[in-house]
Structure 1
Amino acid sequence: MRVAVIQTRKLTKKNRVHELDLEVREGEIYGFLGPNGAGKTTTLKMLLGLVKPSAGAIRIFGESLGEKRSAILRQTGSLIESPSYYGHLTGLENLRVVQRLRGLPDRNVEEALRIVRLEKHRDKKAEAYSLGMKQRLGIAMALLAFPRLLILDEPTNGLDPAGMEEIRELIKTLPGRYGMTVLLSSHLLAEIEQIATSVGIINEGRMVFQGSLDSLRARSRGEIRINTGDNAAAERLLAVHGYRPALSGGRLVFGPLADREVAEINRLLVARDIPVTRIEERRRSLEDIFLELTGRERSL
């Protein structure tokens, strides 16, 4: 089992985050998902020591953040809220500033520029960059030390679809190519679905789901809906054979059924001359599950 890179226990910031137990394992892309104002950015700031928790504990790389903050941050890269840069400096010069502050070799600068595809714009002033290029510059700064842990707060925020896809593809390569663990926040369900291996859903400062993306998908258990020519007779017949469908919208609605069970129900109805006019399967989408967990419409 992969070791935990981030662990929080009952992490709390008064009026913002409530007893949050967050666990991010090595090599994951962990999608931290929630509506705007749910407490995502506050949580990430606490993980970086930028905001002091009201209560709770934070361990990163197995060490207490309060005791080993400097050593932990040397192995961590981050982009919180929006990129910070000097507009009058070029992209390359901005990276050189970070390089000198962190004592990094020249090869890191060249590799970071290549990863975010800014080689051809390295000598252009940052103030003249497009929004997407500024975002990529911010990610390059976060990547410059090639950290064990990369924390990104809404990295595709404000980008057009092409820019969003480019950033997603970039992030997806980082664990395999560089051994990084990525904690990525977003209010966009579709984004997390396309990129994350694990997910935590926060709502009003509380964790309402945490686990693999597959385990979240498993909540989308389907239901079988059957239209018949005589629902009352069909209900009576099926009850004798142990089936208890609900009646909704003029249809018999069953929970998840195996294919053999659907076939048996159809056979029973047809054998009693009860016309079966339609059989359909409906599954809840991840969006439906998200709305159910957060109790509100998804932010766009």
Structure 2
Amino acid sequence: MSTYPIIETKQLTKTYGGTPRVDHVDLKVQQGEIFGFLGPNGAGKTTTLKMLLGLVQPTKGSVNVFGKELQKHRMAILNQTGSLIESPSYYGHLTGLENLRVMQRLRSLPAKNIDKVLQIVRLEHHRHKTAREYSLGMKQRLGIAMALLAFPSLLILDEPTNGLDPAGIGEIRELIKSLPAQYDMTVLVSSHLLSEIEQTATSVGIISEGKLLFQGTMAALQAQNQAAVHFRTDQPDKAVQVLSAYGYRPRIDGQQLVFKGMPDAEVCRINGILVSRQIGVSRIQERKKSLEDIFLELTGKERSL
């Protein structure tokens, strides 16, 4: 187990025409993680990933991969890295098998790896079909197979479920989830789909307008969301006055009093106080925010991803 992050950036910045697309990003990805890089389209995800691979030169900042500086050790780093950025590259007139053979020979990899990756991405029965005949989902899987061909230590996937139907999304999701345990890979996957990151990643980074707003485990992200208890009553103003005498300061939201999360005994006590003062309570409900709610709070923007 490494004692350093597999990926570490410091103050990573890329500016186009005076406007920062990636703005002083300090990213850390630990070994064995599935790190979900989450943000709306245009947030800076792809630009960041391209800088991690040396495809785009940073305006400012540094990139270390496997504990080595990318600019000084790019070829050694790329030999241990597989990637699929934006969309798969392939020769449409060649079969899936032939496309993989081209990659295998270029990289001087064992021929047996081809059969293995075809099986992993479930294309073994379509190996003799030309790539132009593949569905969008099959093309995505061929791109992932090419990225996996060297069985890299680090796999970087940029929006791998883009354009796929629900069944295709589910297949790619299960594939990604299997890689760290089965092949000792670290996976960095970007997405604008909140549900995919929530179901796939062990850690997450949230980026918006080039700025990294959150970074940590999924559990740490969810911990930012304290459950709220909602009391529905027909006299919210009177209820607040009554409860203030007992030290409670709920927020009024329409006909509801909203409290931060509390134990069941506390909920019972508040309900008892209100009922004893002839204030009717028609519903008590505990609510937790979704990952999307947390995202919108972090970005301060009421918009869909």
| TM-score normalised to structure 2 length | 0.94
Matched residue, 1:228: 233
1:298 is matched with which residue?
304
Give the match for residue 207 of structure 1. Answer: 212
Q: 1:217 aligns with which of 217, 222, 225?
A: 222
Q: Of the candidates 257, 261, 264, which is equivalent to residue 266 of structure 2?
A: 261
What's the secondary structure of 1:211's corresponding residue?
strand
Partner of 1:88: 93
Letter of the 1:279 counterpart: I
The aligned amino acid for 2:162 is N
- State the match for 1:252 in structure 2: 257
- What are the ranges of 5 or more consecutive residues in structure 2 without an aligned counterpart? none
Task: Return the offset for 1:257.
Answer: 1.7
Partner Cα separation in structure 2 for residue 229 and residue 198 of structure 1: 43
Residue number in structure 1 paired with 2:11? 10
* Residue 40 (structure 1) aligns with: 45
SS of the residue 2:105 aligns to? helix
8 Å CA contact retained: 2:34, 2:187? yes
Give 1:263's aligned amino acid.
Answer: C
Q: In the alignment, is residue 25 of structure 1 matched against residue 26 of structure 2?
A: no
Aligned length: 299
Q: Give the drift of 1:283.
A: 2.1
Deviation at 1:296, TM superposition (A): 4.3
| Contiguous gaps of at least 5 residues in structure 1 | none
Secondary structure in 1 aligned to 2:230? Answer: strand
Give, in whole Å, the separation in 1 of the partners of 2:82 and 2:9. Answer: 19
2:186 counterpart letter in structure 1:
T
1:190 aligns with 2:195: yes
Mapped partners of 1:138, 1:258: distance in 2: 50
Secondary structure at the residue paired with 1:43?
A: helix
1:133-148 paired onto structure 2 within 5 Å: 133-148=138-153
Instruction: Give the 3-state SS of the residue equivalent to 1:56 in structure 2.
Output: strand
CA displacement 1:13-71 (0-9 Å, x = unmatched): 01210100111000000000100000100000000000000010110000000111010
**Match for residue 171 of structure 1?**
176
Q: 1:231 to 1:185 in 2, by over 3 A?
A: closer
% identity of equivalent residues = 64
Displacement, 1:269? 2.2
1:256 CA displacement: 1.8
Paired residue secondary structure (2:92): coil
CA distance in 1, matches of 2:99, 2:234: 72
Matched residue SS, 1:4: coil
RMSD: 1.4
How does the TM-score come out when normalised to structure 1?
0.96
Matched position secondary structure for 1:168: helix
Q: Which amino acid aligns with 2:14?
A: K
Correspondence for 2:67 among 62, 71, 77: 62
